[in-house]
Amino acid sequence: MKRHHPLNPNESKVILQKGTERPYTGEYEKNKESGIYVCRQCDTPLYLSQDKFDSHCGWPAFDDAIDQAVERVMDIDGRRVEILCNRCKAHLGHVFLNEGFTPKNTRHCVNSISLRFIPLKTPKGLMRAIFAGGCFWGMQYYFDRTEGVIETVVGYTGGNVVNPTYEEVCSHETGHYEAIEVTFNPLKVDFEALCRLFFEIHDPAQENGQGPDIGPQYRSAIFYLSNPQKMLALRLIQELSKKGIEVATDLIPATTFYPAEEVHQKYYEKTSKTPYCHFRTKRF
């Protein structure tokens, strides 16, 4: 099952018809925020903000892409190398080599209109984190009780269907995880503390499910929004491995997070029940 974002005429001209937006007009040309750039059509994570640089060429420039996210093909003009989203084949722009802009000697020249940006921080300066660890009801129950957590939303992410429904995710055909987006105040709680909580409220060694809930939507994952988030999560996974825990948690670049239906938000708060498949177990 696949479903893409609908495109307006300007987006279609670039993404489908391989056009080019005018230089110095793109939404992200001067963007310096931390986060991840994903494909505007299908949500595939394409570039980390740490790989973006100012090339003074009029379009967003990156000297590297997320592994296997971007495909290179010879342009129809026979001179340049075109870059495409590896999943949906959306036109992104062109790649140029040996220009000397950065030590990697690579410039992905990308149309802003081919991208969506997922920021690490909120407009108020709060931080964001995204976790998946079984039924999102139980995950929300524990994160909501953590000092420094400002807001939590349960939803779906990591799949190949735009705006999925709960029924579609449960069909196992969307590729989405049940997940939780956590907004937190970094002055009161840091990402490491949230990761440690995450690893202690579910079994990170269980594959393809959590507790009695079995299925790909219940897999364990951390969707990182920056390289520091990735490296910190990796360090904790290595720490758990040294303790003899065979961690099954995936580390995945963040992509678009789709909030779940209202009936799933704050489920245990609404029902006055407690989680049946999430229990706090000290692991650190």
- Rounded to the nearest integer, the mean pLDDT of the chain is 96
Q: What are the backbone angles phi and psi of residue 80, rounded to the nearest 5°?
A: -100, 165
Please indicate, yes or no, if residue 2 is contained in any of the structural domains. Answer: no
pTM of the model: 0.94
- My answer on whether 84 and 133 are in the same domain is no
Q: Quick one: tokens of 267?
A: 């489920």
Examine residue 284 and state whether it is found in any structural domain, yes or no.
no
| Sequence-ordered alpha helix ranges (H) in 187-226 | 191-201
Residue 115 CA to residue 235 CA, distance in Å, equals: 30
Number of structural domains in the chain: 2
Percentage above 90 pLDDT, the chain: 93
**CA-to-CA dists, residue 273 to 93, 229, 266, 269, 276, angstroms:** 51, 32, 11, 7, 9
Active site (catalytic) residues: 109, 135
Predicted pLDDT at 43: 97
Res 211: pLDDT: 86
Residue 250 has pLDDT above 90, yes or no: yes
Sign of CA dihedral 142, 146, 149, 151: positive
Residue 34 confidence (pLDDT): 97
- Per residue in 135-187, pLDDT (tens digit) is 999 999 999 999 999 999 999 999 999 999 999 999 999 999 999 999 999 99
Is 87 within a domain? yes
Final residue of a structural domain among 62, 95, 118? 118
Identify whether residues 26 and 134 lie together within a single domain: no
- For residue 87, pLDDT over 90 is answered with yes
Pair 38, 159: CB distance under 8 Å: no
pLDDT in tens, 17-47: 999 999 999 999 999 999 999 999 999 999 9
In the block, tokens 């997922």 appear at 118
Q: What is the pLDDT of residues 61-75, one digit of tens each?
A: 999 999 999 999 998
Q: For residue 204, give its domain range.
A: 120-271
- Strands 52-53 and 45-48 come out as unpaired
CATH code, 43: 2.170.150.20
**Are 162 and 206 part of one and the same domain?**
yes
Q: Look up the CATH number of the domain holding residue 215.
A: 3.30.1060.10
